[in-house]
Amino acid sequence: MTYEMVAATYDVTSLRKHWVQVAADDRDAIAKAQKVTGIDFETAAGRVWESDNFVYLPVVVNIRSGDAVRRERLVFALGDDVLVTLQPQVPFAPFDKALARLRRLPHLAESAHGVMYALLYALNEAQERVIDHASDVLEDMSDEIVLATQGYDERGTDIGVTDMQDTIQRMNAAEEIVSRSQESQLMLARAARHLRAEADTRNPALASLIDVLVADINGVKDHASYEHDKVRYLQQSIMTSLDVKQNQIVKVFTIITAVFLPPTLIATFYGMNFTNMPELSWEHGFLATTALTFIAALIPLWYIRRRGWLR
């Protein structure tokens, strides 16, 4: 027996009726959308703002393109029957996931609120991929991080700040990505809460989906917070290890200075041109002076060892 799978699809005409996409750099398209729908992005000025017909919700998201992550700004203008999105370009690649969501749940395309739910869902998925990318970057550096915390490379040579400069820079880049993702999740959560309030009495089924979306957004935010704490801990561990190494180097030079300071003082005395130096006429004057110099070096070394400063 053969089963034929028929994929559900949304009504394209209905989707175009409820969703208008406008590129941020296309002034003609913005003017046309303003004339047709009444939106006013200029007055909204990129902030959360409500007018008689629309609520404007800005969102800044991180978009991964290969190994690069860029920041993109969008503004949702949500009305009763139409959603206008001011976006970097048309089409906007991250929204492909929203179209797939609409194909699975065709009824979402029948309202502006359903469309906005699908778009926020897609942006949240894009954010999660960015955070996973930052986590993968940290995993790729795991061997370097272990060596850095140990303080030695594969050959047993001490690792210094210069040796770890590239690793530290990549960790800083990952930390910046995760920090920005946390900010983006806060903005997505705010937009989802506004959507939830607008859709509460209109469509109980959609309101239930939005509740799940809010939980998902908060879950991705928690993931970002975890990755942020992890990268900050790794940064602190590396810097602490490097500081300990530098302190050990300074300690070695300090001990060397302390040990050789008394012999240097004795040598300075005998380097002076005094006319009366009785040791010079002694039969064993040289050996006595040498022994005195040796003892003068051993005394600070003994004291340092007794205090435990050689550990």
Amino acid occupying residue 261: L
CA atoms within 13 A on the CB side of 79: 19
160-167 long-range contacts, CB within 8 A, separation 24+: 160/242, 160/245, 161/242, 164/238, 164/242, 167/141, 167/238
Predicted confidence (pLDDT) per residue in 166-175, tens digit:
777 888 888 8
Global pTM reads: 0.76
Predicted confidence (pLDDT) per residue in 167-213, tens digit:
778 888 888 899 999 999 999 999 999 999 887 666 888 999 999 99
Helix (H, G, I), strand (E, B) or coil at 231: helix
The residue written with tokens 């490097």 in the block is: 242
Which pLDDT score is estimated for 1?
Answer: 31
Predicted confidence (pLDDT) per residue in 49-94, tens digit:
999 899 999 999 999 888 888 999 999 999 989 999 999 998 899 9
Which pLDDT score is estimated for 159?
Answer: 62
What is the average per-residue pLDDT within 10-25? Answer: 90
Which pLDDT score is estimated for 259?
Answer: 81
Percent above pLDDT 70 for the chain? 88
Predicted confidence (pLDDT) per residue in 231-255, tens digit:
888 777 777 777 777 777 788 888 8
CB-based burial, 197-235: b 16+ in 10 Å, e otherwise: ebbeeebeebbebbeebbebbbebbebbbebbebbeebb
In the structure, what pLDDT confidence band is assigned to residue 6 with cuts at 50, 70 and 90?
A: very low
C-alpha R_g of the chain: 35
Q: What does the alpha-carbon distance between residue 119 and residue 72 come to, in Å, rounded to a whole number? A: 14
Predicted confidence (pLDDT) per residue in 250-282, tens digit:
888 888 887 888 788 777 777 776 667 776 677
More confident residue, 66 or 143: 66
Measured CA to CA in angstroms, residue 123 lies from 47, 72, 95, 97, 155 at distances of: 19, 11, 7, 8, 46
Q: What does the alpha-carbon distance between residue 153 and residue 147 come to, in Å, rounded to a whole number? A: 6
